């Protein structure tokens, strides 16, 4: 019974403190100020000038003003120092985070360069980081006239979730005197690698090429999957080609003499036929 009464009293006190929290806060602040100012008030009240001594209200006023001046000076000095320390810690954290990812990315790039054929390296290496290339420049209308303005078109391609970072980086690099305008925007997609349709891709490839290495990557170009994703349809890119080692296929995209061997097309047709049977 005694524990019940004690618990009830504690709960009642906690409720009253919560209900009258503003009043309790004022009382606590007053108590702290009183404790801090009491030595100052006692010192001023002890002063004697002939038969006159300062009244206590004067000592209390001087003590209150002194405390406020100390608070203001303290915060004026300490707050900038604290903010500077937080900014430095935040910078160190970001730098350490970037450094922690640098080594794994370099290891992946080294693995790709050592073990993948040249025709496959171009596909994969271009999708390990965000890219931006200046593709068009335009300025002026006559050779002896300094142009008033100039424009540049930048083809930026970002990994899923990196759009805001890429745009902010371009704006920072362009500088305050350059206006960055998005002329065309699209989305970056990713899809799980452990799905049934990927299993069918894997099986159809290994049936035609048992030594094939199955490696997921993000295609740097655009496909209809971006439009289909808005309808809730998940898509994958799958264009199997068995290319000979002496063909550097990636630079041929949209270029002069773009081609693939007939044997590569025949291999792709067999793999796709098997894939359709399995999917």
- Domain segments of the chain as ranges: 2-87, 125-174, 196-278
pLDDT of residue 88: 58
pLDDT in tens, the chain (279 residues): 666 667 666 676 676 656 666 666 666 666 666 666 677 667 766 777 767 777 766 666 777 777 777 767 766 776 676 676 666 555 545 555 556 666 666 777 777 777 666 666 766 776 777 889 899 999 998 889 999 899 999 999 888 888 888 999 999 999 988 999 999 888 888 888 888 999 999 999 999 999 888 878 777 777 888 888 888 888 888 889 888 877 877 777 777 888 889 999 999 999 999 999 987
CA–CA separation, 137 vs 87, rounded Å? 38
Confidence (pLDDT) at 186: 86
Distance CA 41, CA 33 (A): 12
Q: Which CATH class is domain 196-278?
A: mainly alpha
Sign, CA dihedral 102-108-110-112, equals negative
Structure tokens at 220: 């740097």
Quick one: which of 213, 206, 221 has its CA closest to 267?
A: 206
Q: Are 186 and 226 in contact (CB under 8 A)?
A: yes
């Amino acid at each position: 019974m005694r524990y019940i009464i004690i618990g009830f009293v504690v709960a009642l006190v906690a409720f009253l403190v919560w209900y009258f929290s503003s009043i309790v806060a004022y009382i606590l602040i007053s108590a702290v100020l009183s404790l801090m100012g009491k030595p100052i008030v006692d010192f001023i009240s002890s002063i004697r000038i002939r038969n006159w001594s300062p009244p206590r209200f004067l000592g209390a006023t001087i003590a209150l003003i002194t405390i406020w001046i100390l608070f203001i000076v303290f915060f004026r000095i300490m707050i900038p120092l604290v903010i500077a320390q937080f900014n430095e810690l935040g910078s160190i954290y970001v730098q350490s985070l970037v450094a922690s990812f640098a080594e794994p990315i370099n290891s992946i790039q080294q693995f790709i360069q050592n073990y993948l054929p040249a025709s496959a390296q171009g596909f994969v290496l271009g999708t390990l980081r965000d890219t931006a290339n200046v593709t068009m420049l335009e300025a002026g209308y006559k050779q002896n006239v300094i142009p008033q303005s100039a424009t540049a078109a930048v083809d930026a391609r970002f990994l899923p979730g990196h759009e805001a970072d890429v745009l902010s980086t371009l704006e920072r690099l362009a500088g305050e005197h350059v206006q960055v305008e998005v002329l065309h925007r699209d989305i970056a997609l990713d899809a799980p690698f452990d799905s049934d349709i990927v299993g069918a891709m894997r099986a159809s490839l290994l049936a035609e090429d048992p030594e094939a290495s199955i490696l997921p990557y993000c295609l740097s170009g655009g496909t209809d999957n971006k439009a289909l994703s808005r309808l809730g349809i998940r898509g994958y890119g799958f264009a199997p080609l068995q290319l000979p080692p002496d063909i550097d296929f990636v630079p041929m995209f949209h270029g002069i003499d773009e081609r693939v061997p007939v044997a590569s097309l025949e291999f792709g047709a067999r793999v796709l036929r098997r894939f359709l049977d399995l999917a």
